[in-house]
Structure 1
């Protein structure tokens, strides 16, 4: 019988690249040639290490990944690049493991690799994903020991300040940048403008937009305009929003669908829906026809005006024009139908969703359950509740308590026993609601109480 040809380092890399199962890939990496002579160990390539570490990191198989890194540390034929460790740090950030991300950064020199601002910024981003804001600042203040900050460093920190509402500190960082020879770029201004607009500080946002051109020779991009348009739209200043849009056209800054979607929503909010058709036509002329978000904004506006017929027509139009309605499209209509007491229509649309290529999500169920419960359609609400529990969608605790109280008040004790049995299996009802419900059942019927007790005993088994 012929002996199998040994796997070469190049062949191992090819096999690892093609193997989708990370654990099978790990087995391949650890035993590329099962019958190789111990006197002649396999010589791995840096590419093989990169491939297996990437696969394990994406699958969050971190203990095994660390074993591979230990093996890599002992290699003497090559030195891993800094980008290799950046991938590892990023993976730990996505997994919300800040200590491991920090440890990886600190270990880079032990692999004979020099750290630069690139890995430093990668770590800052990982800490940002983990909401480790204080650690980010402490790390930044001590960074001079290993690297020097660049614009990206400050951009990450300014964004972190915005997330925690420390715009005063964000401003200080911005002022500090030129003093340290680091000049703000369009991302710096975009981040600051975004957080200023999010906090309603529109005058300062517009002042910064002007300063970036006059003082720094940096021109605003689409993201900056999007933040400003959203900000002024929220306060109802549509004239300024449209002037900004016209300014973008004048300066040949591409308008994307998000800009138009913001304006469409603002027009509905201001009761100017008649102007929407002209805006949609402009969208098509500029090569970014209405998408699902655009339609959802229109559906939301129409539903707020109780024009459900027009909202239904938009659902059909979306399907015809290739923008398939998503679950948000249906949830918006179902919610407003429930608010208006049109519960049969809401239920019909809910049941029609799968036929239209969209399945209800947890929000769909919660909205319909709340609407049926508040509309005293208890049997229908109980059916929706059972379906929710079967699919693993938990109802809101407040909704459950309200439903139980309504069943008690309306003396629907048999239905109450059935509902309590279902909720009890999932431990989805609090102690107070149990006490109220059991008290109501006891007062009503000894037989019902025994039936409830039997359900509870079976559920506990």
Structure 2
């Protein structure tokens, strides 16, 4: 019989040895529950990577996908690269790059790309580089690296698709790097790119936004030479640029050209023209165009009516503006806060309290909160009117 003290000493000794053993830290059946979930995942991944058995590609993907700490990605990749069965795939590299990008570890992304370039251990597709360029452009804001990646593709035996090329072009236009847009466009042949309609549309958009309208119109004439067909997206930025420069008649000329070339104008095109007419005070022509728009099967949207409404208010044609506002509300459209404000001001200046009352009620029904300045105008208009019925009407509004 062993003494109780001896039994206790042996038990304590075994527990101490068990806890001191490094293997205990790698055991998934450890009785210690103080480890965090990320530590447990890390331990499990270490066990699998340290195991001598061959790892299938899908198993490797699971290991990296389950990594909770993005800062451990490079270390785990280095550990995997030392295995005899190391054979990275495009799917693995894509997963790693996206995981690092989502964690904003863009310097680590650079390290992975350097490793890929040095090892040349797997054949990559063009889609892989498209994803890398998107990461640089949309997430990292490293536009220069996006451009460099595009130019480096042929050097490494890969040719960009027109989708990748157009993405870079559009990225530069969105970033207002217009000089770089021209440079990239000129390099299309060297990159093996066959220009398409989307590419020309991006170019037109960039030229219009940079104020080079003449060059944008020249690109429009390039469509047939490039065996491309223009679309409504081709004409919209040109129309907007012409209207912004006061060349409204030329914008209407493009509308006629669209119809001759079989391109159906959409609501955006018509709204651009309606806005141009409104800015020049040509309200009557705007109302005619609105009806013409309907006849051509293009349904006006709230923005279409809003342009006419602004035009009527600018011309102080408040009764017509009220009628149009009523039509808009009946059709489910919501006039803007500014149009309500202007119409109330107009009716108050003419002491048309009843009409101002109607507009104010509609404004509240649509969820707008009239500001103090509007209430002051209405009160002043009521007092100047000096009619008891108007006082009653105003009291009803206030008590709603």
Alpha-carbon shift at residue 415 of structure 1 (Å): 2.4
Asked if residue 449 in structure 1 is aligned to residue 391 in structure 2, the reply is yes
Aligned to 1:393: 333
Aligned to 2:203: 263
When residues 204 and 142 of structure 1 are mapped into structure 2, their CA distance, relative to the original with a 3 A threshold, is closer
| Secondary structure, aligned partner of 1:284 | coil
1:334-365 residue CA offsets vs partner (Å, 9 max, x unmatched): 12222233333333322321012211112222
Aligned residues of 2:271 and 2:303 also touching (Cα < 8 A)? yes
Asked if residue 311 in structure 1 is aligned to residue 251 in structure 2, the reply is yes
Aligned to 1:290: 230
When residues 283 and 447 of structure 1 are mapped into structure 2, their CA distance, relative to the original with a 3 A threshold, is same
User: Within 5 Å, which residues of 2 pair with 1:23-422?
Assistant: 150-154=92-96, 161=102, 168-173=104-109, 175-176=111-112, 178=115, 186-194=126-134, 196-197=136-137, 201-214=142-155, 217-233=157-173, 240-276=180-216, 278-409=218-349, 411-422=351-362
Alpha-carbon shift at residue 293 of structure 1 (Å): 0.4
1:233-272 residue CA offsets vs partner (Å, 9 max, x unmatched): 4677656434433432454423232211122233344554
1:16-35 residue CA offsets vs partner (Å, 9 max, x unmatched): xxxxxxxxxxxxxxxxxxxx
| Secondary structure, aligned partner of 1:248 | coil
Aligned residues of 2:258 and 2:264 also touching (Cα < 8 A)? yes
1:409-454 residue CA offsets vs partner (Å, 9 max, x unmatched): 5544332122123334434444646633542343233322324556
Measure the CA separation in 1 of the matches of 2:72 and 2:143. Answer: 34
Aligned residues of 2:281 and 2:315 also touching (Cα < 8 A)? yes
When residues 280 and 398 of structure 1 are mapped into structure 2, their CA distance, relative to the original with a 3 A threshold, is closer
When residues 453 and 197 of structure 1 are mapped into structure 2, their CA distance, relative to the original with a 3 A threshold, is same
Aligned to 1:56: none
When residues 296 and 387 of structure 1 are mapped into structure 2, their CA distance, relative to the original with a 3 A threshold, is same
Alpha-carbon shift at residue 170 of structure 1 (Å): 4.1
When residues 169 and 411 of structure 1 are mapped into structure 2, their CA distance, relative to the original with a 3 A threshold, is farther
Measure the CA separation in 1 of the matches of 2:107 and 2:279. Answer: 44
Higher RCO structure (Cα 8 Å, ≥6 apart): 2
| Secondary structure, aligned partner of 2:298 | coil
Aligned residues of 1:405 and 1:437 also touching (Cα < 8 A)? yes
Aligned residues of 2:232 and 2:263 also touching (Cα < 8 A)? yes
Aligned residues of 2:196 and 2:228 also touching (Cα < 8 A)? yes
Aligned residues of 2:166 and 2:198 also touching (Cα < 8 A)? yes
| Secondary structure, aligned partner of 2:263 | coil
Aligned residues of 1:193 and 1:208 also touching (Cα < 8 A)? yes
When residues 219 and 357 of structure 1 are mapped into structure 2, their CA distance, relative to the original with a 3 A threshold, is same
Measure the CA separation in 2 of the matches of 1:375 and 1:184. Answer: 63
Alpha-carbon shift at residue 330 of structure 1 (Å): 0.8
1:151-176 residue CA offsets vs partner (Å, 9 max, x unmatched): 45356557x85xxxx8x534534534
Measure the CA separation in 1 of the matches of 2:284 and 2:362. Answer: 24
Task: State the number of aligned residues.
Answer: 319
Instruction: Point out the structure with max Rg over C-alpha.
Output: 2
Measure the CA separation in 2 of the matches of 1:139 and 1:377. Answer: 65
**Structure 1: tracts of 5 or more residues without a match:** 1-115, 125-135
Aligned residues of 1:413 and 1:444 also touching (Cα < 8 A)? no
Asked if residue 436 in structure 1 is aligned to residue 372 in structure 2, the reply is no
| Secondary structure, aligned partner of 1:205 | helix
Aligned to 2:50: none
Aligned residues of 1:441 and 1:448 also touching (Cα < 8 A)? no
Alpha-carbon shift at residue 283 of structure 1 (Å): 2.0
Measure the CA separation in 1 of the matches of 2:356 and 2:270. Answer: 30
When residues 339 and 244 of structure 1 are mapped into structure 2, their CA distance, relative to the original with a 3 A threshold, is same
Q: What TM-score does the superposition give when structure 1 sets the normalisation length?
A: 0.56
